[in-house]
Amino acid sequence: MFQQGGLQIGPTTGNVSDTSSGGGSGLDTAAVQALIDTSLTGAVQPSSVTVSGGGQVKANGGFNFDTSSFPDGQESSIEREGNGGMILKRGTTTFLTLSPFTGATFGVNLTAPNLTVNGALTISGTISGMYTSSQTDSLLNQKQAILSDNAGTGVTLRDNTAMRRVFGTGGVSVTVPLNILDATDPQNYNLKIDGSALQTSIAGKQDALTSSSSVTVGTLSVASAAEVSLIRAPASSNLTLTNNNGTVGLTINSSNGHVGIQRTPLTPLHVNGEARVDGVLDVNGNASVSGTLSVGSSATPWEFLEDAQGDLYIKKGSQHFLGFGASSVPDTIYFLVATANYSDKALKGQIQDIPAADATAVLRSVNAKTYVRTDLDNSLRRAGFLADDFEGIPSSLGSNIVSYTSDGTKTLDYHRVSTILWAACQQMLTRIETLEAAS
């Protein structure tokens, strides 16, 4: 139907009625809103919804994001908790929980390398399970008693997994648990020293040890030889030399300097057992050998020894030559082989016969005696002469019959007395033969 002057609105479906213009019976505002709400219960097309003017998109249960072509149970979602909190998750794995009571909690799958912060991360409170700077300083201060560089420049302990260097100007004290008997001990450490670096370091510090230096060590091992001008024991201690198993070889007494071989010395030189001298033995003082003293460089040296009775013998091999009685026959010299004195004519000059008259005069004037020695412990009566009785004999009989010790004690050479007796006997023999011829 046409009307003059305009288009007459009729009851067209979908139009909103306008009573003011006088026509129409379409959907009103409430019906349109109901229609929109009904359509939103299903899928919304297009897939992107834009809200302009600062509006909000609201969902009572949360939002679900699923881009797969079919449900796989791994949909990403933002869900609302009953207490008003929010959960960010994919499938059954929770990544982030925002609670009005406990704050924000990261899920179990979020580790430090997987958290990236573009910019500064400012923490107003504390981080659970982490040390703050002040806590770290406090912890290190508590451990200072274990690592000490004695006020040095510092300590370097590790380079990756290996111990490399420990140094300090004042010296470094390091305690390393090391179980030599059990190589599998988990507390063992592998200690490695760079030999060339150590050698270079020692060479650079060689001037630190001089003749005036004093070095204290526990055990000093020398590969070839140790050249020293003096070996001295600590105060009030003996100086002892031993072999590698600890058997004492030489002991020097701390108070008097006595030397003992395999024993503590009781005399300036004291040998426990046998002693052998292949040259000259020069002792300024007493020397003691608790065994046999061998002298000589031959395969069978001379030996000085004391027997079970306390007598001293001089022998070579199995042959005894001279004995000095001490217990069996005290104060007696045993000549166990023939004795001989040098008496070659080639060794003597200005040779003269003993005057028979002078020899006979001594025979008449000197009487044989018996006596008891006052300088010996026993009281045996002995036969002999007095050296004093021979002091006034004629000089023609020689001057070596009577001698004197350093303290003035007189000695008598009994062997040479026999020459005087020999001359006197010759004179008497001549007289006897003359008388026999006359008769």
Query: What single DSSP character describes residue 56?
Result: -
Highest mean pLDDT: which range of 5-19, 231-245, 361-375? 361-375
CA distances 261 to 11, 38, 304, 365, Å, are 143, 120, 18, 56
15 pLDDT band, cuts 50/70/90, is: low
pLDDT in tens, 186-216: 766 655 555 566 666 666 665 666 677 777 7
Query: What single DSSP character describes residue 236?
Result: T
User: pTM of the predicted model, to two decimals?
Assistant: 0.40
Indicate if the pLDDT at residue 141 is higher than 90: no
Indicate if the pLDDT at residue 1 is higher than 60: no
Q: Distance between CA atoms of 88 and 80, rounded to whole angstroms? A: 9
End-to-end C-alpha distance for the chain, whole angstroms = 229
Contact between 254 and 236 under an 8 Å Cβ cutoff? The reply is: yes
Q: What is the mean pLDDT of the chain?
A: 77
Contact between 268 and 285 under an 8 Å Cβ cutoff? The reply is: yes
pLDDT in tens, 16-53: 555 555 555 567 788 877 777 676 666 555 556 677 77
Highest mean pLDDT: which range of 32-46, 151-165, 298-312, 406-420? 406-420
Model pLDDT, residue 170 = 47
Query: What single DSSP character describes residue 53?
Result: S
Indicate if the pLDDT at residue 332 is higher than 50: yes
Model pLDDT, residue 402 = 94
270 pLDDT band, cuts 50/70/90, is: confident
Model pLDDT, residue 162 = 54
Model pLDDT, residue 172 = 46
